[in-house]
Structure 1
Amino acid sequence: MKLSLGTVQFGSDYGVSNTSGQVEISEVEDILREAECHNIDTLDTAAVYGSSENILGKVGVNQFDIVTKLPPIPKNVNNIDLWVSGHVKSSLSRMCVNSVSGLLLHQSTDFLETPKRRLFDSLSRLKDDGVVKKIGVSIYNPDELDALENYDMKMDIVQAPFNILDRRLEVSGWLDKLSQTGVELHSRSVFLQGLLLQEKNQRNPYFNKWSDYFNKFNEWINDTNQTPLSATLNFSYSYEQINKVIVGVQNKSQLTEIITSISKSPQYSIPDELIIDDPMLINPTNWKL
C-alpha cells in the first residue's frame, strides 16, 4: 500500500491536534497489527522522535521496511564517518534490526555545511555495506533541493511536506522532476499535523489570521460532499509522482478510518485560492502556539 506509517506519536506527544499524549505501547502493537493486515509495509521514524525507535524495538518491527533519519549534525564533529556510523549503529540497536530500508538526513543543510561529498560518501558506504538500502534527505522547502542540485549526489529518497494548502513541491516543478529522475518521493504533513481535520472551535487562536483559508476549505469540501479526512488524504494519495504518503495516528481506529477513506474515484479540482505559501502557516516549525 502507498501509505507509510509515521511513528513520531509512538515516542512523544507530537501534533497540534494531539489531545491524548504519547501512544501507549499496547496501542502501538494494535496499530502495527492493523497496518500489517492492510499491507502497509513501511514505517517512518527518526532518532529525534523521542523514544520512538526504542518502542519499535520493543514491539518488534522486522516485518516492516523502516525509514529513519539521522539527527542534525553538530558543528564540532571532526570525523563524519565515525559520527554517522555511530548514530546508525545506535538506531539499529534501539530498533533491534540489522538494517533499514532508508536513511535520511533530518536537515538538508548538513550536506551544504560539511565538506563537499564527505557526508554523502559516508552514507553511500553504509549503502554499499548493506546497512541501508536507500539514502536521502528530508526537506521543509523545495528551495533546499535547488541548493542541493549542484552537488553530484544521487538521492534515492526525498521526504517533503505536501498537502492541499502547501503545494510548493508541485508549483516549483520538483514534484515532476523527482519522479522523472527516479527519486522516491515520500510526502508528509498531509493533514498539517491534524490542523486540516480540526473544527474551527478546536483550532489554536494562533491560526485565526488564516480563517479565510479554512472557511474556503470547508466550503469546498461541503460543496463536493467530502469529509476533511477524505479530501486531504486523497489529494496527496492521487499523485502518481508520490511513492509514499506518511500518516501518523494515535490509535488503531484512526488508522482504520484513514485506510477506509482512501478512494480510487476521480479527484475534485482544488480551488486555486486554497494554495498558500505563507511559511508561518504551512511550516509547523514556525508556529507560535
Structure 2
Amino acid sequence: MSSASSSGIGLRIALGTAQFGLPYGISNARGQITQDEGRAIIAQARSAGIHTIDTAIAYGNSEASLGELDVSGWQIITKLPEMPVSGDTVADWVAAQLDGSLQRLRTDSVHGLLLHRPAQLLGRDGQALYHALLAEREAGRVGKIGISVYYPAELEQMPPSMKFDIVQAPFNVLDTRMARSGWAARLQDAGCELHVRSIFLQGLLLMPRPARPAYFSRWNTLWAGWERWLQDTGLSPLQACVRYALNAPGIDKVVVGVDSAEHLAEILAAADGEMPPLPASLHTDDTALLNPALWNRS
C-alpha cells in the first residue's frame, strides 16, 4: 500500500467531535475538552485544510459547543438519535430535531444528516422516516442524507429503494469488514460516500500492552501479532492506524477525534508516509472486540 498524498490529507479527514460534548474514548484520560481547547483544535484543523466536522445530537453538548466556536463555513454532519414513540408525526419529529441542531450549531443548514439507528428504517415508520430525510434535503436544510452503521449486515437489510448519499461505518487495522464484505466497493460504485470512524478503536489500538484493561487479554495472540508487525515495519501505532484508513480504497472521509490541537497535529504528521501491507491475520470479525458497546471496561 502506498502513501497518502500529503497535499490532500486535510481534505480526506473529518474532525470527530464527540470529545467536545462527552468524556469519550477508553484511552481518554483528560475527559471532555474545554472551549479553549476546542477553539485551538478548530483553528488547527482549519489551517490543515480540514473542512468537515462530524457531530451528533447524542454527543452531549457537542453541537452547542461547536456553535459557540463559530463553525460557519464548515461542512457539518450531524446525526439524529433514535426516534421515540410519541404523538408527533415522523416528519414533525425529524424537523424538530433538525431545528434544534441548527439552532445549537448556529447555522441555517448542515452538509449531512445521518440516522444513528438505521434499523428504524425497517420498522413501521421506516418509509415515513426516509421520506422525511428526503424532504429536508429537498428543502435545502440538509445537503446529504445517510446512515451510521456498526457492521455491514445492516446495509444488507436496507430496502433497495432507499438510496443514501453517505454511509458512516467503523474501520481500522483489525476491523476491515467494510472492505472484506465488498461494501466499500459497492458504495463507491453507487456514488455513495463512505466515511469511516473508530480508526483507533476508541484509542485501544494506541495503548501499550500494560495500559490495556484486563478484558482485552483474551485477544493476546492478536495483540502479539499487531506488536510484532509494528516492530517489523518500524511504524508507530498512530502512523499505522491513520495511514491504513487513508490508503484503503473506497473511503471518502476518515473521521478522527482528538482531545487537543497537539493531538491533531500528531495525527496529521503521522498520516504522511508509506503504508506497508497489513497481514490478514490481524483482521477479525469478533464483535466482542470490535464493538465498544460490548466491552467490559474493568
Which bin holds the TM-score, normalised by the shorter protein?
over 0.9
- Superposed CA RMSD in Å reads 1.0
3-state secondary structure, aligned to 1:117: helix
Q: What is the CA-CA distance between 1:77 and the residue it aligns to?
A: 5.3
Structure 1 Cα separation of the partners of residues 34 and 294 of structure 2: 28
Match of 1:258 in 2: 267
CA contact (8 A) 2:91 2:129 kept: yes
Specify whether residues 78 and 20 from structure 1 end up closer, same or farther in structure 2 by C-alpha distance, changes over 3 A only: same
Q: What is the CA-CA distance between 1:240 and the residue it aligns to?
A: 3.3
Identity of aligned residues (%): 40
Match of 1:95 among 100, 105, 110: 105
CA contact (8 A) 2:120 2:126 kept: no
Q: What is the CA-CA distance between 1:110 and the residue it aligns to?
A: 1.2
Match of 1:246 in 2: 255
Count of aligned pairs: 287
2:146 maps to 1:146: no
Structure 2 Cα separation of the partners of residues 37 and 16 of structure 1: 28
Match of 1:234 in 2: 243
Which whole-Å deviations, capped at 9, do the CAs of 1:216-256 have from their partners, x for residues lacking one? Answer: 10100110110000001100100231000000000010000
CA contact (8 A) 1:155 1:183 kept: yes
- Give the TM-score normalised by structure 1: 0.97
Specify whether residues 240 and 170 from structure 1 end up closer, same or farther in structure 2 by C-alpha distance, changes over 3 A only: closer
Match of 1:166 in 2: 175
Q: Which runs of 5+ in 2 are unaligned?
A: 1-10
The residue identity in structure 2 corresponding to 1:274 is L
- Give the TM-score normalised by structure 2: 0.94
Q: Structure 1 stretches (4+) deviating beyond 4 angstroms?
A: none
3-state secondary structure, aligned to 1:67: strand
Specify whether residues 226 and 77 from structure 1 end up closer, same or farther in structure 2 by C-alpha distance, changes over 3 A only: farther
Say which structure, 1 or 2, has more relative contact order (CA 8 Å, 6+ apart): 2
Match of 1:177 in 2: 186
Structure 2 Cα separation of the partners of residues 117 and 11 of structure 1: 31
Match of 2:68 in 1: 58
Match of 1:2 in 2: 12
Match of 1:16 in 2: 26
Specify whether residues 233 and 171 from structure 1 end up closer, same or farther in structure 2 by C-alpha distance, changes over 3 A only: same
Which whole-Å deviations, capped at 9, do the CAs of 1:122-154 have from their partners, x for residues lacking one? Answer: 000100110000000000010000000x34111
CA contact (8 A) 1:77 1:83 kept: no
Structure 2 Cα separation of the partners of residues 114 and 22 of structure 1: 37
3-state secondary structure, aligned to 1:214: helix
Structure 1 Cα separation of the partners of residues 125 and 22 of structure 2: 34
